Structure 1
Amino acid sequence: MRFLTWNLWWRFGPWERRQAAITAVLRAEQPDVCGLQEVWSTAEGHLAEHLAAELGLHLAWAPAALPPHWSERIPASAPPGLGVGLAVLSRWPIEESAVLPLPRGDGPDEGRVALYARIAAPGGPVPFFTTHLHSGPAGSGVRCAQVRALARMVADRRGGGAFPPVITGDFNAEPDSDEIRLFGGRLTAPAVPGQMLLDAWRYAEPGQPSATWDTANPYLAGGLGLNIRVDYIHTGLPAADGTGRVRSVRRAGDGPVDGVWPSDHLAVVAELEA
């Protein structure tokens, strides 16, 4: 079963050309389930609706608030109701969905949320989650509060099926950060007692490029100048028969399509044993 996570960079940059490139990458990758962040919306609809229609996928949607620091970047020509949200796209029907507002801690009121979708896969239900955490470079404390809430949501909604929960998103944190260690629960006490979540990238081939915020991407010119991994696919422990075991993981959307890079983030794709 193929899972994908991708931050789509809202309507920044050449967004109309990027939309075509995003569609092309998703069509080529053919994910069974994907979590999308920074999905633009307007009063007339949102990008995830377009992608679902183009690719023949089922959809769950969670509106979020526009981060305050985006206000100065919104053009005067912006359409009515311009907003942002999270989406889940699935090859199979979505039986149930829920949205969790995430705590702001001592950070700004950004309106961050997490989205849950119960996927009616052929072999049994798959509990799937996607989120986009606080982006402040010094905001580890806020993100720790957010991953605690997210971990509790996973524990409450993981269900009793064979397939482990799959949690995707832009965590805005590097792998050795306090928040990622806390969420995983293997290198430090877990956010929820007894719950361990595996970073799928631990199963990557040695030497495989891992940065999802990659300086090869021209949209990052003038930034920190660092290659870092901030986008994740986490899974619960596999079942005794191997269901949910990570078979492979890699990046996608890591180059231009018809001359335009699809997003400022690269996607992550993981294949899990079904």
Structure 2
Amino acid sequence: MTTSINAIRVMTWNLWWRFGPDRRAAIQAVLDEWRPDVLALQEVWAGDGTSQAAELADALGMHAVFAAPSYPAAPPDQEFELGIAVLSRWPILYSATHVLPARHRSWDPVALTVRADHPAGPLPVVAACLEHAVVYTDDRIAQGAFVADLATDPRFDGPCPVLLAGDLNAAVDSPVLRPVRDVLVDAWTAGRGAPDAVTLPSSHPSAPLEAGPQLIDQRIDHVFFRAGRENQHVVVDAVRLAGGDPVGGVHPSDHRAVVVDLHWAG
């Protein structure tokens, strides 16, 4: 957790829904260690009168917004939804869901936009999980352009940077993310993160190897940003991966989280 008024710690993490063993304690341990100010989550469950986002927000002393459906589709015999969420250290002033272009799906996956009540002013966050099926790369490219458009909406201009965070299911140099790269800054690269960093490792015991080389052993989870004003200077202080090691013998997720510390002036 950061202390400077113009500094934040952003984290994005795919929590692997309800797949695998009971991982609640392992997930909580990772989040307790890193204590992000803003947390974008993917493959989040909701049902039985609550949600994983709400439970984590209560445990961390944060505020949460959940939206569904998202990728992948939840198994048809399950009563729990699969969605995305944003958690914020500060109260959430505004949230909206946006249906992603998805011509090949019979359901409507969504992205989420949020404004958090940061001390410097409203902090805009765009959170998403994009199409994972490489065969539907037309949808993947359309969704990349869609979230880039959300993040460059002039209504988000203001005293804080605009953040885009999520499991974008594409490597940073993929054509899927070209619309994003054209208008936003990749925080990992700006923070001099290792160019060979991986967020979906084949070494995980339950790695979805069928996803193929465009996704497996690639950095497909991202934080991008843009300045909120033309005279604003945003600096990435540090970037790290988190949640990749077992906790008490249990892997928290099949994805590694991306953690970004940044500050701004102007």
- TM-score using structure 2 length: 0.87
Residue type of the alignment partner of 1:35: A
Identity of counterpart residues, as a percentage?
A: 38
Alignment of 1:76-87 (within 5 A): 78=78, 81-87=79-85
- Counterpart of 1:24 in 2: which secondary structure? helix
Residue 41 of structure 1 pairs with residue 46 of structure 2: yes
Q: Is the 8 A contact 2:158 2:229 kept in 1?
A: no
Which residue, out of 54, 63, 71, partners 2:75?
A: 71
Match of 2:67 among 59, 62, 69: 62
| Cα distance per residue 1:11-61 (max 9 Å; x no partner) | 0000x2x11111111111010001001101113211111101111101112
5+ long unaligned stretches in structure 2: 1-7
**1:21 aligned residue (5, 23, 26):** 26
Q: 5+ residue gaps in structure 1? A: 186-195
- Asked whether 1:162 is paired with 2:169, we answer no
2:222 paired residue among 232, 246, 249: 232
Structure-2 separation of matches of 1:47 and 1:160? 31
Alignment equivalent of 2:258, drawn from 229, 243, 268: 268
Question: 1:102 corresponds to which letter in structure 2?
Answer: L
- Residue-by-residue CA offset, 1:115-160 (whole Å, 9 max, x unaligned): 1110111122211111011110222211111122222222336523
2:207 partner amino acid: L
- 1:137 counterpart residue number: 134
Output the CA distance in 2 between the equivalents of 1:65 and 1:55. Answer: 24
Helix, strand or coil for the counterpart of 2:153?
Answer: helix
Higher deviation after alignment, 256-265 or 222-231 = 222-231
The secondary structure found in structure 2 opposite 1:96 is strand
Bigger Cα displacement from structure 2, 45-54 vs 220-229? 220-229
2:12 to 5, 22, 43: 5
Corresponding residue of 1:211: 198
Amino acid at match of 1:12: F
What count of residue pairs does the alignment treat as equivalent? 254
Inter-CA distance 204–59: structure 2 relative to 1 (3 Å threshold): same
User: What's the CA shift string for 1:65-91, capped at 9, x where partnerless?
Assistant: 5745x537x5xxx5xx31111111111
Residues 1:174 and 2:171 are matched in the alignment: yes
The 2-side partners of 1:120 and 1:149 are apart by 25
Q: Cα 1:159–1:71, aligned 2, differ >3 Å: closer, same or farther?
A: closer
2:181 is matched with which residue? 184
For the residue of structure 2 that corresponds to 1:211, the secondary structure is coil
Residues 49 and 227 of structure 1: is their aligned pair in 2 closer, same or farther, counting only changes over 3 Å? same
C-alpha spacing 1:161/1:177, structure 2 compared with 1 (3 Å):
same
**Partner residue, 1:91:** 89
- Taking the aligned partners of 1:272 and 1:240, their CA distance within structure 2 comes to 17
| Distance apart, 1:104 and its partner CA | 0.6
Q: Give, as a single letter, the amino acid of the residue that structure 2 aligns with 1:28.
A: E
State the TM-score, normalized to the length of structure 1: 0.85
